[in-house]
């Protein structure tokens, strides 16, 4: 997978997410950015404990990691990294990018985010260093406004609208509704095999 462009450097997409579960919205976003930006590879990076979601229940990192592996296995340009799953403590994107930079010094990084995540970006830790570590690519997502804040280091890309969220997938499983065709077949089967999301995860805990 070593393609040398004018710079001779590998073009590496980075698709971070909780992936609880991974769904076709994530996969289409990564595929579209890979095609449009001529990426050699897209590495999917499931979070450890996401800092924005610490108050919510998030499935075990190992389940999220394995579902991501299953979902990406058939694409030769898609890979999965354990950097965030294996790092203790909450996941910050700055650490993800620093670690990937250290592991892949030959690569230029393209960090892929949906419109909702891009909107939050300015509240992220060490925002100024983020821009120096990666080029950012924001993609459209139904229900969210895509705004690159006029920055040169942020590109915007319209992708086919996939009105799918992991939150909705979890709610569907809890309500016994199908998630076929929203997530890859192997992920449907993985969810059933381990009984994930059978209880409504976002419901408030009952009073004790
Ligand atoms: P949750 O509902 O649990 O927050 P999610 O569907 O938003 O899950 P995340 O793992 O939070 O998925 O998202 C990872 C990244 O993928 C984010 O940058 C998010 O904006 C992007 N993304 C998620 N779903 C879509 C979609 N349907 N279209 C485009 N981008 C998406
Ligand atoms: Mg989300």
Prediction ipTM score? 0.99
- All domains of the chain, ordered by start, with CATH? 10-162 (3.40.50.620)
Predicted pLDDT of residue 202: 52
Predicted pLDDT of residue 6: 64
Pocket of ligand 1 (CB under 6 A): 17-20, 25-26, 29, 113-114, 116-117, 139, 141, 162, 164-167
| CA–CA separation, 181 and 104 (whole Å) | 34
| pTM, 2 dp | 0.93
pLDDT digits over 132-146, tens only? Answer: 999 999 999 999 999
Nearest CA to ligand 1 atom 12: 166
Bridge partners for 10 per DSSP: 107
Pair of tokens at residue 162 = 């996939």
pLDDT digits over 65-78, tens only? Answer: 999 999 999 999 99
Which residues of the chain carry a pLDDT beneath 50? 1-2, 4, 204-206, 208
| CA–CA separation, 31 and 34 (whole Å) | 5
Considering every ligand atom, which ligand is closest to the CA of 113?
Answer: 1
For 9-75, give the DSSP string.
-EEEEEEEE--TT--HHHHHHHHHHHHHTT-SEEEEEE-SEEGGGTTS----HHHHHHHHHHHHTT-
Predicted pLDDT of residue 122: 61
| CA–CA separation, 100 and 112 (whole Å) | 14
Pocket test for ligand 1, best of 59, 117, 158 (most atoms within 8 A of CB): 117
DSSP 144: S
Q: Which atom of ligand 1 is nearest to the CA of 167?
A: 2
């Amino acid at each position: 997978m070593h393609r040398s462009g004018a710079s001779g450097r590998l073009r590496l997409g980075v698709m971070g997410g909780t992936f609880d579960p991974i769904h076709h919205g994530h996969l289409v976003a990564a595929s579209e950015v890979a095609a449009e930006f001529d990426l050699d590879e897209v590495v999917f990076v499931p979070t450890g404990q996401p800092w924005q979601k610490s108050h919510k229940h998030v499935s075990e990192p190992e389940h999220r990691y394995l579902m991501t592996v299953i979902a990406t296995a058939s694409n030769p340009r898609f890979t999965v990294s354990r950097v965030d799953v294996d790092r203790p403590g909450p996941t910050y994107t700055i650490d993800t990018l620093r670690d990937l930079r250290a592991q892949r010094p030959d690569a230029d990084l393209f960090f892929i985010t949906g419109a909702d995540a891009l909107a939050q970006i300015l509240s992220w830790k060490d925002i100024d260093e983020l821009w120096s570590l990666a080029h950012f690519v924001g993609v459209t997502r139904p229900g969210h406004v895509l705004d690159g804040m006029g920055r040169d280091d942020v590109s915007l890309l319209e992708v086919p609208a996939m009105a799918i969220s992991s939150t909705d997938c979890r709610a569907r499983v809890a309500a016994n509704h199908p998630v076929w065709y929203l997530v890859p077949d192997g992920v449907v089967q993985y969810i059933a095999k381990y009984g994930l999301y059978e209880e409504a995860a976002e419901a408030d805990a009952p009073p004790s």
